[in-house]
């Protein structure tokens, strides 16, 4: 239909209503799920697409899922065919190697939306399930070497047929996962939130007519592309390259990564040609996950306030090599896919930081720093499972010190599980939750402090698994700022035995009284440390972000450790200020 024949005010009202529908799908799921990783941490995303599978709008908890809803929908349509979709159908998909795949824990669901027998749209969501089977509790295995060890795989399977649950599919699932009641709650939470979207879009069609709703969908896409191309016209043009090493493939080997970013008048191209081949460990990622990582940086510079849709991403292109760690193929393992995905973000970010200083600052903790702990609750005797990201330090940027104790860029708007809830639900005591003030990340603007979180095991035979990337090479500084620090964890057993620091472990047994201390990185500094005002340096010393010795060595400021008064500056700083 020609949008010119529709009142533009009406088009905009319906357009904004579609965004509201996407948000309602998002919050409906949070209110109906049973896993803390979903309703507390918000490790999921949801969105709606038009009848062609083009993303219209997306509600995000996890920014790493940005733009993954559309490939997931298209994969289902390609497999099933539009002619075989029916009102009330829901398809399940978690295949790491197709359609927005990440790792198997991230379970996607797709629902076609009809109005008077016409396919109008799709609703989709993608969420981290606590368990999907496999070799390890939580299905997350840092030592996995193939995809079959990581749990059940659904490559676009019908879960709900015309509104009725396909019982054999659910029977298969509950017979192969460790926490079926929790997963069942999450499954119905996903389905019910999609049904909320179906109902709301039906109401829009009833109120305004299907043609107006479809016209508004087209308007969303057109406006997104128009704004993106207009803003790209103002970008500096050229090519920027960056390469670095991922710390560990899960088996002690570094992984070489590289990117070439080219910006022209009409294209933003990220080319990852030359990255190492897929590895035996579980840090491999699929092409859509790498592409999603590039989208995160693209949105940061094009305009983070823009609605996420496929129109905005029209100028964006990503190239990965089949068989590389950035476009892995079955049957490799992908449990820790996010390490490669976030390194993809970091490579593009670091390459473009000098060209976009207003949008991109120094490096941050980088890793999700995933923790998985399983065992029996000391009081109630039930099996429990912790699966959570860990907060850390962000890099400083032009005009601002780095943020402290925040999740990495791949997590986005997610939250930690409160201490009180963790101690009630899990077999642990939180012995410490504090800032990691190591004084790293010196700069005119100081890198944000990481965090320290310590878990005391309250029972025997607990299992601890973790993957803390950025555990060998520190966070990078920018514009003359100094590097930050690294992520790591260490164990202190009840008998006093200590082990670590280390960055990766699989199912390490912890008994009653054993403690694991997890430490995340301080972000990189931004700008010459000698340009930081002495009174701010003294304030940093007073508030224990840095020591008086670090104030002198890194900032050239002499601070009285008792009164916190500035006593002067070093000769090196004085000479630099001349």
Give pLDDT tens digits for 541-572.
999 999 999 999 999 999 999 999 999 999 99
Q: Would you tell me how many other CB atoms lie within 10 Å of the CB of residue 434?
A: 11
Q: What percent of the chain has pLDDT over 90?
A: 88
pLDDT bracket for residue 4 (50, 70, 90): low
Whether 558 and 568 have beta carbons less than 8 Å apart is answered as yes
Query: Beta strand 370-376 with 383-388: parallel, antiparallel or unpaired?
Result: antiparallel
Predicted model pTM: 0.93
Helix axes 180-208, 210-232, angle to 10 degrees: 100
Tell me how far apart the alpha carbons of residues 143 and 507 are, in angstroms, rounded to a whole number. Answer: 9
Express each pLDDT in 39-96 by its tens digit.
Answer: 888 889 999 999 999 999 987 777 778 778 999 999 999 999 999 999 999 999 999 9
Q: Is the pLDDT of residue 1 over 60?
A: no
How does pLDDT run across 144-158, given as a tens digit for each residue? Answer: 999 999 999 999 999
Q: How far apart are CA 386 and CA 137, in angstroms?
A: 10
Q: Is 405 helix (H, G, I), strand (E, B) or coil?
A: coil
* pLDDT tens for each residue of 276-327: 999 999 999 999 999 999 999 999 999 988 888 999 999 999 999 999 999 9
SS (H, E, C) 432-464: EEEEECCCCCCCCECCCCEEEEEEEECCCCEEE
Extract the tokens encoding 438: 């190591």
Token match 């101690």: residue? 423
Which DSSP symbol is given to 180?
H
Domain extents in the chain: 3-228, 361-527, 534-577
Token readout for 491 is: 């164990």
Which three-class secondary structure state does DSSP give residue 6?
coil
Pairing status of strand 566-569 against strand 450-457: unpaired
Give the C-alpha separation, 475 to 448, whole Å.
Answer: 11
Share of the chain above pLDDT 70, in %: 99
Per-residue pLDDT tens over the stretch 188-218: 999 999 999 999 999 999 999 999 999 999 9
Confidence at residue 3, expressed as pLDDT on a 0 to 100 scale: 59
Give the contacts of 179 (CB within 8 A, at least 6 positions apart).
130, 131, 383, 385
């Amino acid at each position: 239909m020609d949008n010119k024949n529709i009142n533009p005010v009406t088009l905009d009202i319906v357009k904004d209503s579609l965004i509201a529908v996407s948000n309602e799908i998002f919050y409906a799921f949070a209110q109906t799920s049973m896993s803390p990783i979903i309703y507390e941490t918000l490790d999921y995303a949801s969105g709606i697409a038009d009848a062609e599978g083009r993303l219209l709008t997306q509600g995000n908890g996890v920014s790493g899922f940005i733009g993954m809803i559309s490939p997931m929908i298209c994969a289902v349509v390609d497999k099933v065919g539009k002619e075989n979709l029916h009102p009330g159908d829901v398809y399940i998909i978690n295949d790491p190697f197709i359609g927005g795949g990440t790792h198997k824990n991230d379970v996607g669901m797709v629902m076609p939306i009809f109005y008077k027998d016409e396919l109008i749209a799709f609703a989709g969501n993608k969420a981290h399930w606590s368990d999907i089977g496999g070799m390890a509790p939580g299905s997350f295995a840092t030592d996995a070497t193939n995809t079959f060890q990581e749990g059940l795989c659904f490559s676009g399977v019908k879960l709900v047929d015309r509104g009725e649950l396909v019982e054999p599919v659910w029977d298969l699932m509950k017979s192969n996962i460790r926490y079926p009641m929790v997963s069942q709650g999450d499954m119905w939470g996903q389905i019910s939130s999609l049904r909320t979207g179906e109902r709301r879009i039906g109401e829009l069609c009833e109120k305004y007519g299907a043609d107006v709703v479809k016209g508004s969908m087209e308007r969303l896409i057109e406006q997104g592309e128009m704004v993106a191309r207009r803003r790209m016209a103002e970008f500096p043009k050229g090519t920027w390259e960056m390469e670095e090493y991922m710390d560990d493939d899960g088996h002690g080997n570094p992984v070489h990564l590289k990117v070439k970013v080219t910006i022209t008048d009409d294209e933003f191209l990220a080319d990852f040609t030359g990255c190492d081949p897929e590895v035996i460990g579980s840090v491999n990622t699929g092409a859509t996950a790498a592409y999603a990582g590039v989208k995160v940086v693209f949105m940061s510079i094009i305009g983070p306030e823009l609605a996420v849709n496929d129109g905005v991403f029209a100028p964006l292109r990503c190239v990965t090599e089949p068989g590389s760690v950035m476009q892995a193929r079955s049957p490799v393992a992908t449990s820790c896919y996010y390490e490669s995905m976030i390194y993809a973000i970091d490579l593009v970010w670091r390459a473009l930081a000098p060209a976009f200083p207003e949008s991109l600052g120094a490096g941050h903790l980088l890793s999700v720093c995933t923790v998985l702990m399983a065992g029996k609750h000391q009081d109630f005797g039930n099996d429990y499972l912790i699966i959570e990201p860990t907060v850390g330090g962000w890099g400083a940027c032009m005009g601002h010190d780095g943020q402290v104790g925040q999740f990495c860029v791949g997590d986005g708007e997610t939250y930690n599980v409160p201490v009180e809830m963790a101690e009630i639900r899990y077999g642990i005591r939180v012995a410490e939750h504090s800032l990691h003030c190591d004084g790293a990340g010196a700069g005119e603007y100081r890198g944000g402090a990481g965090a320290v979180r310590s878990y005391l095991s309250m029972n025997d035979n607990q299992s601890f698994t973790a993957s803390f990337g950025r555990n060998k090479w520190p966070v990078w500084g920018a514009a003359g700022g100094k590097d930050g620090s690294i992520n790591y964890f260490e164990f202190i057993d009840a008998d006093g035995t200590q082990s670590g620091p280390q960055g990766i472990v699989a199912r390490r047994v912890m008994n009653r009284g054993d403690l694991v201390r997890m430490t995340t990185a301080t972000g990189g500094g931004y700008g010459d440390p000698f340009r930081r005002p002495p009174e701010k340096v003294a304030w940093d010393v007073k508030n224990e972000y840095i020591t008086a010795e670090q104030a002198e060595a890194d900032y050239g400021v002499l601070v009285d450790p008792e009164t916190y008064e500035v006593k002067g500056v070093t000769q090196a700083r004085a000479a630099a200020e001349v």
